[in-house]
């Protein structure tokens, strides 16, 4: 699974790129989504590469993300009681593992598909350069976990 984070804002963006980011549910800076690794999503990531960063999320980071930043409709936190009553799982951690292994989805379990994060502690490296050149944009493989932990 890929974790995708929006790094840059909406000003001066071309319409087709804005539409792609809207389809990914990335409407604001520091919003994150988790998507499967499919060819159509990879094409969307390439189209928005100048405004987002992404990489393969680890299971531990994903569990932390769902527990800390997962939200229900009405901006309510995800609790073990909610998970036990409304899903087939016993705890938030079990639900996160099931979502990570693609046994269920965020939408099927009643969670919002977006994670609203804080800006990273110590800031972004640079919002106009690629990650390979010392910036924050584009593909960053396993290093997305470090950025997510700074933002949770």
Query: pLDDT tens digits for 68-122?
Result: 999 999 999 998 999 899 888 899 999 999 999 989 888 888 899 999 999 999 8
Q: How far, in Å, CA of 38 to CA of 29, rounded?
A: 24
Residue 93: the pLDDT is 92
Model confidence over 34-53: pLDDT tens digits?
999 999 999 999 999 999 99
Q: How far, in Å, CA of 76 to CA of 70, rounded?
A: 9
pTM: 0.90
Contacts of 32 (CB under 8 A, 6+ apart): 3, 4, 5, 6, 26, 65, 69, 114, 115, 117, 148, 151
Contacts of 149 (CB under 8 A, 6+ apart): 61, 64
């Amino acid at each position: 699974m890929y974790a995708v984070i929006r790094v840059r804002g909406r000003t001066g963006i071309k319409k087709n790129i804005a539409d792609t980011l809207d389809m990914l549910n990335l409407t604001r800076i520091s919003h994150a989504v988790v998507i499967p690794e499919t060819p159509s999503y990879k094409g969307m990531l390439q189209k928005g590469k100048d405004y987002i960063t992404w990489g393969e999320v680890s299971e531990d980071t994903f569990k932390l993300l769902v527990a800390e930043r997962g939200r229900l409709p009405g901006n309510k936190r995800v609790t073990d009681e909610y998970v036990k009553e409304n899903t087939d799982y016993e705890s938030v951690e079990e639900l996160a593992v099931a979502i990570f292994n693609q046994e269920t989805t965020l939408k099927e379990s009643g969670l919002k598909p977006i994670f609203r994060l804080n800006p990273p502690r110590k800031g972004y490296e640079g919002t106009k350069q690629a990650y390979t050149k010392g910036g924050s944009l584009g593909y960053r493989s396993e290093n997305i976990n470090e950025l997510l932990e700074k933002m949770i």
